[in-house]
Amino acid sequence: MFRRQDGNASKIPHQYGSGNDFSSEMRYDTATVIPEFDKRPALIHILLLNKTIRLFVVLGLASVVIPAFAYLFFFSKEIGHGNKRDIIGTCGHPTLYHIPCGYPYNLTQDECHRLGCCYTSLATCYHSLPSEHQYIIGSEWTTGEPAVLTAYRPVTPYEKSAIQEVRFDVSVTEDAGGRFRFLLSKMDANQAPPLATNSPMKLETTDLLVQIYSPTFFIEVKRKIDHEVIFSTARGPLVVTENFIEWTLHLGADILFGLGRAYLEPGNKYLLLNNQNTSAVPIVMGYNSKLKSFNGLMFNTPGLTEVEIVGSRLIIVRAQLGDSFDLQFLPGPTPAMLYRQSKAILQNQYTPPYWAYGVHVCDQSVKRNVTIVRQNLELLLNDTVMFDSHCLHNDLFWLSDTMSIDKDIEAMLQLLRDAGKKFVPSLVLSVGYGGNPTFIDAREKGILLRHSGNQLAYQGRVRNRTAVYVDWRTSHSANLTEWLDKQWEKIVNLEADGYVLEEASPRDERNSSLPVLKQLVYQPDQLNDTLKEMLPWNTLLSDSEQLVLSQHNLIGVKALEMVQKKMTSSNYFIVTGAYDTHSRAALLPMNISSSWISLRSEVDRCIGLSVVGITYTGTPVCGNAPPGRANVSEELCIRWYQFASLLPLFRVTADRTPNKFSRFGQRVMHAVLRKRFALLEYFNTLLLEDVPYLRPMFYHFEEASNYTMDLWEQFMIGDALLVAPVLLPQMTQIAIYFPDTFYELWAGQKMPGNDVLQYAVVESDLPMFLRPGYIVPMRDIVEELVDLANGTTIPLTAELSRLKPLHLVGAFDCNVRRWKCSMTGHVLFQPGFRLDFVVELDERVVIRVITNVTSPEEAQQLVCSDDATVNATITSVQLYGHPNTTQTLTFDFDFDFCQQDSKRAEYVNEHRKGPETDQFGNFA
């Protein structure tokens, strides 16, 4: 979305033309007679100028207004609690700060007051400010030590008893700019109060101070420089029951993002629950326009969690409670600092082998037919379509099956091996019900999720098969490990190059069991629709009487961790849809429908994940939901190909590979894949350096925050590239905001800065622009076919693309007088092996390449040996933005790492118009 530079103008519609501009200035015809003013005073002026009349008007208004306000605040039941002795806060605070009290349905006035909450004539019940539902810390608490919190009211608004004592711990970490951790945990009945420490910890960093208020427990984080509050828990309730927590948090932010989204809309609720196409990403970040600073928070979500953003940007977290609730505050104050603070906690950098950047194909047809799978595979190979791996079919390999390789599957695997392709099967982690040894062993070891009635293994329906479900987070870890060891012996026989974990989070296709009101402590509005794709709400864990909902988000994550322990290498290629913020794997959602709305949602999701530190993501190209697969339009698929080509993971279903479309569609899709392979070194560098991959525009251009803070339809890839994917059908032009001068990446067209431009597009266009001052390394890829030494021709792959020479594309960033310019860039082939590029423009054009290598022998083996896998030659340099010409500068630049470590070359600046000098040689 875009705003004009004029603050009074309305927003320009998303990706639509701006229309005609109309002048609001009033003009008079010169022939029109302008009437003279009537100089006689009007009656209203006579009345207003009379002091006596003015006095009586003021007194009359006061006699009405003052009693009205007195009635509202002291006598009216429209605003207020019940008995006066219960009141610890006010009910007269603004509506934007109203936090709903109790169950989400209409309460009567008496019911609301009995809960200790405020009531209005609109039949809404809300917490006072401060809320009566809080905890008491006591004045004897010593700063920095553990504390015991005591519930102020014994009963919560949800008619459940509050936990009477909760332990509170706080810690301070100075790394990555400093952050604070607040931990609320249950206390066992026999647990002694926390012991005092000998040296109390100071709750502060260089820039920030934590203040814990007593006797009522509140947390505030303030900036030392101006004492501005940037985090607070004082604006809403803290409710803790045996298996539920509600806590209201405030970041002091005007605009919020996170939770797997690039922008959080106030007034919405977000359900954090790992299922087929959504995930639990419990990170919220925000921007304070007054302080010009960013901050954020992160919390744990083992089970069902809802996050509500009210109009005042208060963040209400309602979650299933395990043993503790862990909250970490990230102080920022810049997006880059927020990212580093987040990554310091997540520790989730994932760097699989280079071929993982290629195109991954999987047959996901509803009916599994091995004959049709083979026919499609042969067609894919005969049509010389670019792809790197295949899964054969995503329903072939269940964990409970024998996984025997029959002659049909062996023949297909041989086809892949002969073509130099990888085999990445999908592992279905549900267990088939019946007499198979896998199910019998799992039942005997007590590691299956249980039915709430008969306590036996719950039987559901997955992919038209009766199935049971492994409790991957069970406390019976020894049993689980022994069971998985037996299953892995079968999986090893597949000799796979990687795995995609399917059905990691349990679901049941025939589930119709939904909770009624009050069966759960709190039931989110959208929960019933979500539960239809999950197990019945009252299904139990394998090792306790707790509901699966309380630990649901951990099941698929623990499955991933168990499988990764079986891998022979830490950088093994593995893909999952059920993950948390600490997962080290490629992330891909399942069950994404084929629609323009889904494409836009995927863009939003990928940006939202990347900016908080989850970078190795992908999108199912053209969608991967089974219903209505044949109805996808070619235009939608082209646009989806274009966006997906920018992401680390590129996976497409077998019925949506380029050869399934028209000749025009095939040409466009192949061109998209060639450009992807050309830019892979740039993408790989970002991921190896563990820096933000996709970045919202505000990440680099905060000074234009009035444009960029809620702008997610265009984004940056790293520091250098601006991308504006086309996300609506039949577009001929899209609006793009350029906060600075940019240059079209492939041709060098100059885009003026600080403006919204209507950019013309055709169906084959993916608008990409280069930022001044940066150099992007590209592989020299012209065709999708590669000629081998033996005279054969094969389609391009990610690994083969890396054997192509590099060429550099850059844009000048010039000084104020625009006669001295420069640009920089680099490529990281692997940790410890990097090439830096510098171009300077003055009297001459100077191009330098500098090698930084920590292990020369390893670099020589990688680049210069007979079995080299990387080409480190640079053949040419293409430069945009010369201050005195619109022409693109192109230079031949013969650099070969195997022949020389570094190189410096000078070229004539044919367009130089240097600054004028006086008689003494000084610049004018």
772-923 maps to CATH 2.60.40.1180: yes
Cβ pair 438, 400 in contact under 8 A: yes
Strands of the sheet containing 218-223, edge to edge, are 208-213, 218-223, 229-232
Q: Could you report the per-residue pLDDT of 92-138, keeping only the tens digit for each?
A: 888 889 999 988 677 888 889 999 999 887 768 999 999 999 999 97
Residue in 232, 223, 269 with CA at minimum distance from that of residue 251: 232
Secondary structure of residue 459 in the 3-state scheme: coil
The percentage of residues in the chain with a pLDDT greater than 70, rounded to a whole number, is 88
The C-alpha angle with vertex 837 and arms to 834 and 840, in degrees rounded to 5, equals 160
**SS3 track for 647-659:** CCEEEEEHHHCHH
β-sheet bridge partners, residue 184:
168, 325
Structure confidence at residue 3 (pLDDT): 36
Tokens 């990610």 appear where? Answer: 798
Residue in 577, 576, 580 with CA at minimum distance from that of residue 554: 580
In 416-469, where do the E strands start and end?
422-423, 426-428, 431-432, 460-462, 465-468
Contacts 24+ apart (CB under 8 A), 62-68: none
Backbone angles phi, psi at 151, to 5 degrees: -65, 135
Least confident span in 153-162, 219-228, 518-527, 594-603: 518-527
Structure confidence at residue 923 (pLDDT): 47
Structure confidence at residue 911 (pLDDT): 84
Q: What distance in Å separates the CA atoms of residue 163 and residue 154, rounded to the nearest whole number? A: 8
Secondary structure of residue 417 in the 3-state scheme: helix
Q: What distance in Å separates the CA atoms of residue 431 and residue 436, rounded to the nearest whole number? A: 9
Q: Could you report the per-residue pLDDT of 893-912, keeping only the tens digit for each?
A: 999 999 999 999 999 998 88
Averaged confidence pLDDT in the chain: 87
Sort 737 into a burial class: Cβ within 10 Å, 0-12 / 13-18 / 19+. buried
The C-alpha angle with vertex 861 and arms to 855 and 866, in degrees rounded to 5, equals 170
Q: Could you report the per-residue pLDDT of 309-318, keeping only the tens digit for each?
A: 999 999 999 9
Cβ pair 806, 875 in contact under 8 A: yes
Q: Could you report the per-residue pLDDT of 232-275, keeping only the tens digit for each?
A: 999 999 999 999 999 999 998 999 999 999 999 999 999 999 98
Provide the token pair at 676: 């992807």
> For 884, what's the count of Cα atoms within 13 Å in the CB-facing half-sphere?
15
Cβ pair 570, 352 in contact under 8 A: no
Q: What distance in Å separates the CA atoms of residue 316 and residue 318, rounded to the nearest whole number? A: 6
The answer to whether residue 304 scores a pLDDT higher than 90 is yes
Residue in 756, 742, 729, 703 with CA at minimum distance from that of residue 12: 756
Give the helix/strand (H/E) hosting 53: helix 51-70
Q: What distance in Å separates the CA atoms of residue 162 and residue 783, rounded to the nearest whole number? A: 67
- Please state the rounded mean pLDDT for residues 206-235: 91
Q: Does residue 618 or residue 703 have the better pLDDT? A: 618
The answer to whether residue 15 scores a pLDDT higher than 60 is no
In the chain, domain spans? 135-189+196-346, 772-923
- Please state the rounded mean pLDDT for residues 636-642: 98
β-sheet bridge partners, residue 428:
398, 502
pLDDT-derived band at 47 (thresholds 50, 70, 90) equals low
> For 147, what's the count of Cα atoms within 13 Å in the CB-facing half-sphere?
27
How many angstroms from the chain centroid is the CA of residue 870?
32
Q: Could you report the per-residue pLDDT of 803-860, keeping only the tens digit for each?
A: 999 999 999 999 888 889 999 999 999 999 999 999 999 999 999 999 999 999 999 9
Cis peptide before 333 (omega within 30 of 0): yes
- Please state the rounded mean pLDDT for residues 627-640: 82
Structure confidence at residue 788 (pLDDT): 80
Q: What distance in Å separates the CA atoms of residue 303 and residue 305, rounded to the nearest whole number? A: 6
Q: CB-based contacts of 471: which residues, under 8 Å, 6+ apart?
A: 447, 448, 449, 480, 541, 542, 543, 555
Provide the token pair at 313: 């940007």
**Domain 135-189+196-346 identical in fold to domain 772-923:** yes
The percentage of residues in the chain with a pLDDT greater than 90, rounded to a whole number, is 68
Q: Which CATH architecture has domain 135-189+196-346?
A: Sandwich (2.60)
pLDDT-derived band at 48 (thresholds 50, 70, 90) equals low
Sort 688 into a burial class: Cβ within 10 Å, 0-12 / 13-18 / 19+. middle
Provide the token pair at 200: 């109390």
> Which pTM does this prediction carry?
0.88
